[in-house]
Amino acid sequence: MERIYLDHNATTPVRQEVRDKMLPFYGELFGNPSSAHSFGQEVKVPLEEARQRIAGQLGASTAQIVFTSGGTESDNYAIKGVAFAAEKGHIITALTEHPAVLQTVSWLAKKGFDATYLEVDSKGLVDPDDLRKALRPDTILVSIMHVNNEVGTIQPIEELGAITREAGVYFHTDAVQSFGKLPTNVDELNVDLLSVAAHKIYGPKGVGALYIRKGTRIDPLIIGGAQEKRRRSGTENIAGIVGFGEAIVLAEAEREEVYERLTLLRQKLVQGIGERIPEVVINGDPERNFPSTVSASVSHVEGESLLLSLDMEGIAVSTGSACSSGSLEPSHVLVAMGIDTVLAQGTLRFSMGRGTTQAEIGYLLDVFPPIVERLRKMSPLSASKAC
């Protein structure tokens, strides 16, 4: 059976061109870039070339890029780093952030920092006026993501950043889902800190970066060596970093074309679901949605059952729910958007990628409606509706 991968927001396959660039670093180019001899120096050059590529994509200078182990570490570094340097103060974030941000902020709140979690509207958008009102004289950081990983809502980062800058407060954005897919110029976005990861753009897992604007007061998270100008100790993951550098150049070269193609595929998918399945809500903002992502809440069925049934047909998607300790908890993102908690449990996230085809979406639209119909007939959620 041919398999169809519609979970690109979770991760993407490493491109052949990226793998080809990485391989020598598992062979003859094995040196440590901190070594002064030729083995070290011959890997230092590609390391700095990759840094140049990431910086170029962000409109930043190479001195402002620190390589990390991925999006989670970059988020932790940005938030804890600013908090540790300030020693005390108030942090603002939003209820729909990735757990890498939310849990870092709540951990700091337990350590004595103050935290405010901004609400979002039914489309998942933060209201800039809410941010204005939440800012306090002791606010040290605002962290709002660029593109939401579950529903695809694009936050007005430029506007939120301008408000934060006017208040003299640092602004971090988690751009893990937008880097290489939308323009992410740090000056245009008005950000001081920005997190990215390679594995969302057909690069390797376990590699990311944090952009840090010059002058930002931030403590390192990982210490013990002088790497990355003492901002992130540990011998660099050269193969991964080189792969990341290749992945971003390839992503940028096709960015606009992929965006247009995904926009058409998204229209086809949303329209097809609407026409073929009754009682489905498409979550997010129709005007400000990254086109790879379709979050669909299907009434009277559980997302897990839908996911497993689609998997049996060879289609990989994810749910909008986290299965914890045997009970299905609705996604914090959907709950924050005000989606009914029972409906939220019937949510699937379809996330398309550069290789997704019309035929694949057509196949999904053929097999998905009968699955929903079958599960609805069996569902206790349908029975409860009848009562």
Ligand X SMILES: Cc1ncc(COP(=O)(O)O)c(C=O)c1O
- Could you list the active site residues? 323
For the chain, where are the alpha helices, taking DSSP H only?
16-22, 38-58, 71-86, 99-110, 128-134, 157-166, 186-189, 238-276, 303-312, 332-336, 341-344, 358-378, 380-386
Q: Which of residues 171-230 bind ligand X (CB under 6 A)?
A: 174, 176-177, 197, 199, 208
71 binds ligand X (CB under 6 A): yes
Give dist(CA 248, CA 56) in Å, integer.
Answer: 10
Please tell me whether residue 72 binds ligand X under the rule CB under 6 A: yes
Q: CB under 6 A: which stretch of 32-40, 41-49, 64-72, 260-268 binds ligand X? A: 64-72
Q: Work out the angle between the directed axes of helices 303-312 and 358-378 (0-180°, nearest 10).
A: 130
Report in angstroms how near the CB of residue 68 gets to ligand X at its nearest. 9
Q: With respect to ligand X, which residue has the nearer C-beta, 290 or 368?
A: 290
Q: Which range binds ligand X by CB under 6 A, 70-78, 218-226, 227-235, 297-305?
A: 70-78
Residue 69 beta carbon to ligand X: minimum distance, rounded to whole angstroms: 7
Asked if 345 and 371 touch (Cβ cutoff 8 Å), the reply is no
Rounded-to-integer distance, Cα 246 and Cα 15, Å: 9
Q: Does 98 bind ligand X (CB under 6 A)?
A: yes
Do 187 and 193 form a contact (C-beta atoms < 8 A)?
no
Q: Which residue is nearest to ligand X (CB)?
A: 71
* Smaller CB separation from ligand X, 75 or 236: 75
What is the contact mask toward ligand X in residues 20 to 59, using x (rule: CB under 6 A)? Answer: ----------------------------------------
The residue range among 25-33, 66-74, 154-162, 341-349 that interacts with ligand X, by the rule CB under 6 A, is: 66-74
- Residues 98/174, Cβ–Cβ less than 8 Å: yes
- What is the rounded distance in angstroms from the CA atom of residue 192 to the CA atom of residue 173? 8
**Between residues 101 and 212, which has the closer beta carbon with respect to ligand X?**
101
Please give the order of strands across the beta sheet that includes 280-283.
Answer: 280-283, 293-298, 347-351, 318-319
Residues near ligand X, by CB under 6 A: 70-72, 75, 98, 100, 145, 149, 174, 176-177, 197, 199, 208
